[in-house]
Each structure stands twice: as structure tokens, then as C-alpha cells.
Amino acid sequence: MKIGIFGGTFDPIHLGHLRAAENAREALGLGAVYFVPAHTPPHRPGPATSATDRYAMVALATSGHAAFITSDVEVRRGGPSYTVDTLVTLREELAGQELWLILGSDAFGEIATWREPEKIFSLCRVAVVHRPGEVPKSEKALELSAERVSWVEAAGLPISATEIRRRASERRSVRYLVPDAVADYIEKRTLYQ
């Protein structure tokens, strides 16, 4: 079976993330998509919420889709969340499955700067979700990838986690930007305030 691996800070997970995963699932015939919240993202400032809260929000957001699975592989491991380490672990846990790393075009453009990018491409195929007409931003990423990349066109939803955090900090509604269960979780736990 083909399995998608969709990692991220998910601070918080929103409808744009879910739509990207669904587009990749349909386009590539993935049997499942594993959502992997990062413990500590190595390429950006620390998240505004704990790994436990972000894991809980991802679990709530994905619970209604039989093919979406929340993985705690990076939360369990702790420390910086390097994609290459996650792929090594998941290849062991999901032995015999064909792994597909799902990335947005912005992340794909930076993949040459990640830890052991060549090894990443040896461990999985890569699905780059992009907007119609968008072109890759990194020639180096294309050199690394050779024939291990598939492009998944998606209209994309103009939703940003930064905007969601700002709205929550101003005590404004985040409904219809995130799944209802995530909006309730943010409100009950007073996240981002």
C-alpha cells in the first residue's frame, strides 16, 4: 500500500492542511495519510503551543476521515524533528509500504537545506502539492529529486496558521478556518492568547 507522510508544525492544523492531504491522497491513490506533528521544528522559531496540544488538535482534525492517521513519532522522540529521522522510523514501523512524503511547494523549495536531503529521497517518493501554474522555487531541490517527485495540483485554500493564531490572540473566531473540534479545543484551552 502507498502511505502518505504529512509532517508539519500544525500550530494549529487548519482546513488548508487537510485539503492538501486529501488532494495528494486522491491524486496518488494513497491508502492512508499519516499526519506527523513536529516536536520541535528545526528550521523555524518554536511553536506557540506544546507538542501535546498540537498532537491533540491534529487527532481531532483527522478523526473523521478513515484514511487520515495521526502519528506521534516525532512527539514521542522529542528534540528537533528531522524528516530523515522520521522516515527511517516509519519505514521500520510500516515495513513493506511505499512511503510518500507530502510537501507544499514552499517546503520543497527548501529541502536541499534539510538534514540529509539525499537520504530523504532514498527513503521515499515525494509529492509536492502546488497551486495551478506554480513552478518550483529551487533548482537544487529539483537536482536532488530526479525522478522521485510527483506534482499534485491543488487550488489551495488561502488559510495561514499565523492568521489563525492572530485571530485567536485577539479573541476572534477561527471557525471555518479550522475544523470545529479544533476551534473548540483552541477556545477551551485558551491557546494563542
The Cα–Cα gap between 47 and 156 comes to 23
The Cα–Cα gap between 38 and 36 comes to 6
- pLDDT tens digits, one per residue of 101-129: 999 888 888 888 999 999 999 999 999 98
Please count the residues of the chain: 193
Residue carrying the nine cell digits 479550522: 178
Domains and CATH numbers, the chain: 2-157 (3.40.50.620)
Does 145 score more than 80 pLDDT? no
For residue 166, the Cα-to-chain-centroid distance in whole angstroms is: 21
The Cα–Cα gap between 3 and 15 comes to 20
- pLDDT tens digits, one per residue of 58-74: 999 999 999 999 999 99
The Cα–Cα gap between 124 and 180 comes to 33
Which cell numbers hold the place of 98? Answer: 511505499
